[in-house]
Amino acid sequence: MSTPLIECRGVSVGYDEKPVLENVDFVIEQGEIVTLLGGSGCGKSTMLRSLTGLLPPLAGEMLVLGKPLYDLSLEERNELLKKTGTAFQQDALFGSMSVADNVALPLRELTSLPEAVIKEMVRMRLFMVGLPGSEKKLPTSMSGGQRKRAALARASILDPVIMFCDEPSAGLDPAVAATIDDTLNHFRDALNITIVVVTHELESIRAISDRVIMFGRGSVMARGTVDELMASKDPEIFNFFHRVAERPDDTGALEQLTR
């Protein structure tokens, strides 16, 4: 049996020694798109920060590519994280740099490839994300969806084993969000990248997820396929997937108004 690319064993994460999530256990296998989801404040973004090397867990063991991420030396951890890529929620593109220079940044910082090779790799990756001919554009001249795709190009330019995406389709109209979903599916299928996504967008969850891990009540509340969780009898899980908002019983008030 192959070693999971990511494995959490009894992990607790939080801030100032106050856990947001406790006793979290899950695995992510090669070639999956796994979505981390849950209500606002459930801890999904905190977990993503920990998985990307930015926030040491308060307890437990976090294995990435078979190695204990936070037991490594800083140098060893940085070497390991070179095999991952991250697309941030706000795209994090440098406004004063061209799209090509933004996408090329990891190649220039972390490799010794010739400039001609870097430019060709950037051209090909921009084509892959649907931005052909955009090399000379500045991020400020692009739409939100275009910037998101440029961020995906940069996050994937080193052909990472794992890519992390924080709300990749947030704030986009449905048609543009669908192109982001298609790009992520293409990365998985064409490049065999394992992708971990934080999102609350239902259409994206349905379109990209091989499996989902739902956080709530301070830990993992549910896991499985989208269809499995949509069929859950748990009211909180059902409401999340069917977007049934809880509201107070206003029958009495209605009766008062209609008397």
Number of alpha helices (DSSP H) and beta strands (DSSP E) in the chain: 10, 10
Query: What does the DSSP assignment read for 70-111?
Result: GGS-HHHHHHHHTTEEEE-TT----TTS-HHHHHHHHHHHH-
* Single-letter residue type at 4: P
pLDDT per residue, tens digit, the chain (259 aa), is 678 999 999 999 999 999 999 999 999 999 999 999 998 889 999 999 999 999 999 999 999 999 999 999 999 999 999 999 999 877 788 989 999 999 999 999 999 999 999 999 999 999 999 999 999 999 999 998 899 999 999 999 999 999 999 999 888 899 999 999 999 999 999 999 999 999 988 999 999 999 999 999 999 999 999 999 999 999 999 999 987 444 445 444 444 444 4
- Domains in the chain, please, with CATH? 1-83+160-246 (3.40.50.300), 94-159 (no CATH)
CA of 52: how far to CAs of 25, 162, 196, 235, 243, in Å?
17, 10, 10, 32, 30
CA-to-CA distance for 177 and 222, rounded, in angstroms?
25
